[in-house]
Amino acid sequence: MKLPRDLSGDDLAQALQALGYERVHQSGNHVKLACQRPKRHQVAIPRHKALRVGTLSDVLSEVARVHGLSRQELLELLFAR
């Protein structure tokens, strides 16, 4: 599965709720999400209308690493419909 090209920061934040992420802070146009499992992890996401591919890739790679998934597995979990 390819990276979505038109995903907004808010859409990504909502999709990450499937993994237990919750909004903990918002400052300007960035939102900070945190989850407790498998270990405490925080990630900041810009609230842009369309995330840049590199930004999206970096966030997803970090989340996949923390949750012990490949990036492909994470993409299918979050965006397969």
Structure tokens at 11: 């859409």
**Domain extent listing, the chain:** 9-79
Measured CA to CA, the distance from residue 13 to residue 70 in angstroms comes to: 19
Structure tokens at 5: 């090209």
pLDDT at 81 over 80: no
Residue 57: which H helix or E strand, with range? helix 53-67
Mean pLDDT of the chain: 93
**Residue 35 in 3-state DSSP?**
strand
pTM as predicted = 0.89
- Convert the pLDDT of each residue in 40-52 to its tens digit: 999 999 999 999 9
- Convert the pLDDT of each residue in 2-34 to its tens digit: 888 899 999 999 999 999 999 999 988 999 999
